[in-house]
Amino acid sequence: MKFQALLAILMPLLLLPCSTVASDNEINSFREAKKAMVKIVHSLDKPKTIYCGCDIVLTKNGYYPNLESCSYKIRKNEKRAKRIEAEHIMPAHEFGKNRSCWISGGRQNCTSSDPTFMKMEGDLHNLFPAIGEVNGDRSNFKFSEKLRGTSPYGKCEVIIDRKRQRAMIPDRAKGQVARAYLYMSNRYHIPLDNEHINLFNQWNKKFKPTYNECLYNKLATKAQGNDNPFVTKACKY
């Protein structure tokens, strides 16, 4: 009788699908990823924002950018300029626009109904700390090698061309951006046009990972269970 009683308790658990049992290193949403990113950034050596290279000031449960450290000039949105946001290097629009959930209801619908989209949205290898204003201004624009104009952000050499929907970033970020894009394309089978395949391959080859990029990859791997092979290969662990 004791065995039968125990079996009655365990049987429903044994019949659960494997996907309902999450491992310790599984991240299933953007919200979870943002929390994990805070912990990772706290473990880096003198962390900086991805595009502008501003020092990141660490607090007990978060962080914010030291705008003076990179001579950042607020363009318009002071509130977002003074906070750090998780920047999707490959924008959610790019990896979500062709999914049925996006077509029928946009990003919010995908976030609530599509587990694969939620995985992509919360992938740490595509998320890095950026000044909120720059994150917002960049929107879902693609990266470009050369754009005309001057940066509105002071010495942060980011140029946004809203008419062409393109963004130009400083050399310090190009390698990291390239490896994130190549990773997303490879892991989730997201096609890139020839222009950007060539651009990102060039950036990946020319701009090698820094110590912090290698460490970020290592910690992100531990947090979500898989690495970015484009970073791992270059870091030579």
pLDDT at 237: 64
C-beta atoms surrounding 46 within 10 Å: 8
Per-residue pLDDT tens over the stretch 133-154: 999 999 999 999 989 999 999 9
The pTM score is 0.88
Contact 172, 53 (CB under 8 A): yes
Per-residue pLDDT tens over the stretch 151-195: 999 999 999 999 999 999 999 999 999 999 999 999 999 999 999
In a domain, 146, yes or no: yes
In a domain, 63, yes or no: yes
- How many domains does the chain divide into? 1
Question: What is the residue-averaged pLDDT of the chain?
Answer: 90
Label the pairing between strands 142-143 and 166-168.
parallel
- Best CA proximity match to 208, nearest among 171, 183, 157: 171
In a domain, 8, yes or no: no
39-48 mean pLDDT: 98
Residue 170 CA to residue 159 CA, distance in Å, equals 9
| Tokens 């110590």 found at | 211
Tell me the two tokens of residue 146: 């050369």
Phi/psi at 98 (nearest 5 deg)?
-95, 0
Per-residue pLDDT tens over the stretch 86-114: 999 999 999 999 999 999 999 999 999 99
In a domain, 176, yes or no: yes
In a domain, 71, yes or no: yes
Domain extent, residue 47, equals 24-235
In a domain, 12, yes or no: no
Those residues whose C-beta lies under 8 Å from the C-beta of residue 169, and which sit 6 or more positions away, are 51, 143, 157, 158, 177
